[in-house]
Amino acid sequence: MVVKKIEVIPLGGIGEFGMNTMGIRCGGEMIVVDAGMGFPEETPYGVDISIPDYEQLEEYREELVALFLTHGHEDHIGAVPYFLKRFNVPVYGSRLTLAFIENKLEEHGILGDVLMHTVEAGDVSEVGNFEVEFINASHSLVDCFSLAIKTPVGTVVHTGDYKIDDTPVVGDPYDLEALRRIGDEGVLALFSDSTNATVPGRTPSESDVIPDLAKIFDSAEARLIITTFSSSIHRIQIVLDLAEEFGRKVCALGRSMMGNVELAEEMGYLEIPDDLLVGLNDARRLEDDEIVYLVTGSQGESRAVMWNLATQSYKGLSIKDGDTVVLSARIIPGNEKRISKMIGAIYRKGGNIIEEKRRLIHVSGHASQEDIRILTETARPKFVVPIHGEFRMLFRHKEFLKNHVGYNDRDVILVEDGDVLELTADSAEIVDRIEPSRVFIEDDGFREIDLETLKERKKLAFNGVVNVTVTVDPSSGEMASDPVITLQGVGGIDGANGFRGEAAEVIADALAELGPDALSDIPATEEKIRLVLKRFIKRTAGSKPLIIPKIVRTSNGRSNQ
């Protein structure tokens, strides 16, 4: 069979942040690159995270052959357990990435059922019609890959998250020589990170934060409290090195921070001098200028250590006068309000806050425009597909390549979640579209809920609920007594101002319209009552509560459901 096309189906991460998942199909087989989670705006409704709706891949079940992971950030691996529960395929990733995955799979009780392949930069894995080479990529995390995916049609390169960092703190620079060799062999399409496509110049190196952080260590006269992403191995190593240099001990707080520090040290990614790390009890006994706390919660998460230090206390520890608090992380879009609240709480308690707007204490892990130029000119693809970012970033990525790298409009293809991109040796075009959808995960981290359930929760929260129990005489189809109506959180309605009587008339009219045969289909009758009450309440009170009707049939003077 002559294979003439590749189909690429992104389910998340394009036109949005988070939920990075991409299916690549060729010759009747499909691999998936990454399975990430997102952080939805609907967090007040019992939802912590969202993931792509993998039901969309069900039609390809027999074709799925492997899951390839670019790196260990949650927006690329957070949905792996949910994906593997539905499609148990082999997983390929770096040592650190798979170590993160193992913990997740163990929590979900499926670790022993999953086949995982640990790979290193330079390795090549052959899976069906795909030959995948792993290219070392520099990023804010370590042990990251770009993927060169060779198929009978041509080679596509998926950059993952990257920047061209010449002086990373941990690990090696981006392997441009490997990418240049692959470019010499010919690249059909480059799927390239767009997060910083609006930012001119080069993204600073991870090591560029050292001078300003050193100044903070030098000038701090009391306790230092530093919050950063628990996966920021580069930043953690810098803090450890500076703590040793300035004679401070380090106390890591927060489950993910403590776990990642321990894991990274065990795996050789962090170098920690003997006796530098101390527990909380030992830290309390030190003088204020002898300790630095390395904590979770840079995004103002309500259950993380930093929020608790700022607003109340964490195991008896709290912000106090003279503390220097360093927010060594970028603000993820959508988190601005709660981070602002946290900063205000820190100031109230007397803490001095240093954030990235004041000092160079954080650098991005994503390619800016000149990084994009370097990578694109090294790979020299026939087509470029901007990925990973909001649509404005994808658009600016395309404009930069057209204006500064010499690409034509037809050679840079903008796609979004759900688009089906078809690649041949000479063409790249969107040929179909599936409507993208997502699934939400309960606060417990295990149960999935659909969009309709979340909409009902939002409706309850904003508009309240009306419960209606209607007792009907089956012989006449009429109400045997007034309906029992209870209201919870419904605005614009006073239960004592005649609402119940008017609502009873509306229900009676609906039953009369349906006639005695209505009770042969109780669900349809309940839906009829719901609709007429919905219109009545909207007309009279301007409210849109959730309405839950229930029909009860009488029998010999008693009521039966």
Selecting from 3.65.10.10, 3.40.50.1000, 3.10.20.580, 3.40.50.300, what CATH number does the domain 464-560 have? Answer: 3.10.20.580
Q: Is 90 exceeded by the pLDDT of residue 468?
A: no
Q: What strands lie across the sheet with 187-193, from one edge to the other?
A: 124-127, 130-137, 144-150, 155-158, 187-193, 381-387
Q: Is 50 exceeded by the pLDDT of residue 122?
A: yes
Report the candidate in 400, 313, 442 with the shortest Cα–Cα distance to residue 45: 442
Q: Is 553 helix (H, G, I), strand (E, B) or coil?
A: strand
Q: Is 354 helix (H, G, I), strand (E, B) or coil?
A: strand
For the chain, how big is the Rg over CA atoms in Å?
A: 29
Find out whether 40 and 49 touch, Cβ atoms under 8 Å. Answer: yes
- Considering only 32-46, 390-404, 425-439, which range has the smallest mean pLDDT? 32-46
- Considering only 58-62, 91-95, 273-277, 496-500, which range has the smallest mean pLDDT? 496-500
Domain ranges of the chain: 6-202+364-449, 206-355, 464-560
Find out whether 242 and 209 touch, Cβ atoms under 8 Å. Answer: no
pLDDT digits (tens, 9 = 90+) for 507-534: 888 878 877 666 678 888 888 888 988 8
Q: Is 555 helix (H, G, I), strand (E, B) or coil?
A: strand
Token pair belonging to 379: 């790979």
Q: Which residue has the higher pLDDT, 336 or 114?
A: 114
Rounded average pLDDT over 267-291: 97
Give Cβ neighbours of residue 523 (< 8 Å, ≥ 6 apart). Answer: none
Q: How far from 413 is each of 13, 42, 348, 392, 548, CA to CA, in Å? A: 16, 31, 50, 14, 47
Dihedral angle over CA of 381, 387, 393, 396, nearest 10: 20
Q: What is the 3-state composition of the chain as percent helix, strand, coil, each rounded to the nearest 5?
A: 35, 25, 35
| Model pLDDT, residue 188 | 98
Instruction: Tell me what the pLDDT averaged over the chain comes to.
Output: 91
95 conformational bin, left if phi > 0, alpha if psi -120 to 50, beta if neither:
alpha
DSSP 8-state class, residue 163: B
Residue 416 CB: number of other CB atoms within 10 A? 15
Q: CATH topology of 6-202+364-449 equal to that of 206-355? A: no
- Considering only 14-28, 213-227, 452-466, which range has the smallest mean pLDDT? 452-466
Rounded average pLDDT over 385-410: 97
Selecting from 3.40.50.300, 3.40.50.10710, 1.10.150.120, 3.40.190.10, what CATH number does the domain 206-355 have? Answer: 3.40.50.10710
C-alpha–C-alpha distance, residues 145 and 135, integer Å: 5
Rounded average pLDDT over 331-345: 88
Tokens 């520090």 correspond to 261
Selecting from 3.10.180.10, 3.90.320.10, 3.60.15.10, 1.10.3210.10, what CATH number does the domain 6-202+364-449 have? Answer: 3.60.15.10
| Model pLDDT, residue 373 | 98
Which pTM was predicted? 0.84
Tokens 């380090």 correspond to 250
- Considering only 97-111, 280-294, 526-540, which range has the smallest mean pLDDT? 526-540
Q: What strands lie across the sheet with 546-555, from one edge to the other?
A: 484-488, 465-472, 546-555, 558-560
Task: Work out the pLDDT band at 537, boundaries 50, 70, 90.
Answer: confident
Find out whether 79 and 35 touch, Cβ atoms under 8 Å. Answer: yes
Q: Which residue has the higher pLDDT, 496 or 53?
A: 53
Task: Work out the pLDDT band at 543, boundaries 50, 70, 90.
Answer: confident
